[in-house]
Structure 1
Amino acid sequence: MSLVIPCVDIQSGRAVRLYEGDPDRETVYFERPLDAALHWVEKGATLVHLVDLDAATGRGENKNIIFEITRNLNVPVEVGGGIRNFESAQALLEGGVQRVVIGTAAVKNPDLVSQLISAHGPERVVVSLDAKDGFVAVSGWASQSELSIESLCEDMASRGLQTLIFTDVSRDGTLKGLDRDLMVRVRKAWTGELIVGGGVRDVQDVALLKELGIEGAIVGRSIYEGTLPFPVPELTER
């Protein structure tokens, strides 16, 4: 495993974390998302993951804050949350975002992934597979599709996708740790670059990801609350 990526979730203009993806169960960590992003870069982050929670749930958007962050950071930024058409993805990419993360649209309009890869290259497009009880969750995790993890992985691979983020919705923001059996299942289903998008609690979870050959992890509450040290010792030994 090579990369631990701090996450800054943006809701109502503030840096927060949600419990099980519920927008009404938030903890505010920084009043200004830029301060959160700068904090993790100063600690050694080489990539920052931003999520526009308001865009994901249809409550609004935080594009100006995202562009403020891209202007002030000296490391790449990737952005997810509510990117459901080509125009919104392109605006982010042209505004300084290194790569866009497509979630719900990858299920409801998978051709969008193909179009973005064709226009901008596979290195600037990531798909976020968010799952609950083995099926893909959509619309800011508010509903569940009938699409299996394996089916989506197969379809995205056929479209030339290189990087997949997988999030177990039931564990995101809970500090419960990872579900080993589920991690094994996803690693088997996706042979490209795999990043786990939630549920990492401590160094034992990082060790599990290394054992399974999972390339990265997006971390939020665990580093904000200190159950996982950042930078992670296992990744700085070499």
Structure 2
Amino acid sequence: MILFPAIDIKNNQCVRLCQGDFERLKVYGKDPVLMAKTWKERGAEFLHLVDLDGAKDEKLINQDSIEKIIKTIGLHVQVGGGIRSKKRVEKLLALGIERVIVGTIAVENKKLLKELVDEYKERIVVSIDARNGKVALRGWKVISEVSSIELCKELEQIGVKTIVYTDISKDGMMMGPNFHIYEALSKEVNLNIIASGGISSIKDIYRLKNMNIYGAIIGKALYDEKIDLKEAYRCLQEE
């Protein structure tokens, strides 16, 4: 199981949101590059970066921070946030990013998604952000009528191999993830599932691992020191 420390970037600062609400934002550091270095020193091999300005307004405000992390930290990196064109995907992959995460186009432009998956294979990851089982779009601002499980089935048919699934109601709340949805997804699709939202303890990580979940993104629990990353890796290795 892969652990992905999350670095959410807004205005080139490291922040966290609660339930995707930009009005409930907390700054955890003014240098995302330094934060990336911190997680590397604590054992991280893969980072999950989110360009929040890109997700909300499709702006490239945080490009410099993302480039510096790629060029100076030396870890595997996946990046998401406002990536809705092939040109943007190509630019990010050219930087050396291992995986690009797309979301909105998985609902609004399946033709483009299929083109990207056919060309870039497993380097294209789809983010499924949902509230009450319905897919959220455009930085979580729009809740569609699309069933998240049915969308995952469609993605598998298109050729997607990996998804990031976030229950928005759990995100940043430190109350544990939605285990029920991950169990349901494991039965319905044969995808690499990266769990995101609400992971607040090593116990949560163990439970996801025992469900054979591919990966887990950890955000607020790391920043609020509820999970020690070194300890989390050590415990997983002991199992």
Q: In which range does the TM-score fall when normalised by the shorter chain? A: over 0.9
Structure 2 Cα separation of the partners of residues 22 and 52 of structure 1: 14
Q: CA deviation at 1:170?
A: 0.7
Check the 8 A contact 1:43/1:230 in 2, yes or no: yes
> What are the ranges of 5 or more consecutive residues in structure 2 without an aligned counterpart?
none
Structure 2 Cα separation of the partners of residues 189 and 128 of structure 1: 17
Q: List per-residue Cα deviations over 1:80-131 (Å, max 9, x = no partner).
A: 00000111111100112111001111111122221112222x2211001111
Structure 2 Cα separation of the partners of residues 160 and 59 of structure 1: 26
What RMSD, in angstroms, separates the aligned Cα atoms of the two structures? 1.3
Equivalent residue, structure 1, for 2:69 = 69
Q: CA deviation at 1:59?
A: 6.3
Equivalent residue, structure 1, for 2:114 = 114
Check the 8 A contact 1:149/1:189 in 2, yes or no: no
TM-score, with structure 1 as normaliser: 0.95
Equivalent residue, structure 2, for 1:99 = 99
Q: Does residue 224 in structure 1 map to residue 223 in structure 2?
A: yes
Q: CA deviation at 1:183?
A: 2.3
Query: 1:59–1:92: structure 2 CA closer, same or farther, 3 Å change rule?
Result: closer
Structure 2 Cα separation of the partners of residues 234 and 162 of structure 1: 27
Query: 1:32–1:208: structure 2 CA closer, same or farther, 3 Å change rule?
Result: same
Structure 1 Cα separation of the partners of residues 107 and 149 of structure 2: 13
Letter paired with 2:159: G
Q: 77-86 or 109-118, which moves further after superposition?
A: 109-118
Check the 8 A contact 1:83/1:89 in 2, yes or no: yes
Check the 8 A contact 2:6/2:49 in 1, yes or no: yes
Check the 8 A contact 2:129/2:167 in 1, yes or no: yes
Equivalent residue, structure 1, for 2:237 = 236
Equivalent residue, structure 2, for 1:48 = 47
Q: List per-residue Cα deviations over 1:9-47 (Å, max 9, x = no partner).
A: 001110000011111211111101111111101111000
Q: 192-201 or 7-16, which moves further after superposition?
A: 192-201
Equivalent residue, structure 1, for 2:133 = 134
Equivalent residue, structure 1, for 2:142 = 143
Letter paired with 1:165: V
Check the 8 A contact 2:177/2:196 in 1, yes or no: no
Structure 2 Cα separation of the partners of residues 180 and 5 of structure 1: 18
Structure 2 Cα separation of the partners of residues 101 and 59 of structure 1: 14
Give the number of equivalent residue pairs.
Answer: 236
Structure 1 Cα separation of the partners of residues 189 and 33 of structure 2: 33
| SS of residue paired to 2:15 | strand
Check the 8 A contact 2:133/2:149 in 1, yes or no: no
| SS of residue paired to 1:16 | strand
| SS of residue paired to 2:229 | coil
| SS of residue paired to 1:39 | helix
Letter paired with 2:105: A
| SS of residue paired to 2:146 | strand
Q: List per-residue Cα deviations over 1:181-206 (Å, max 9, x = no partner).
A: 22222222332211102211101211
Letter paired with 2:80: G
The percent of aligned pairs where both chains have the same amino acid is: 36
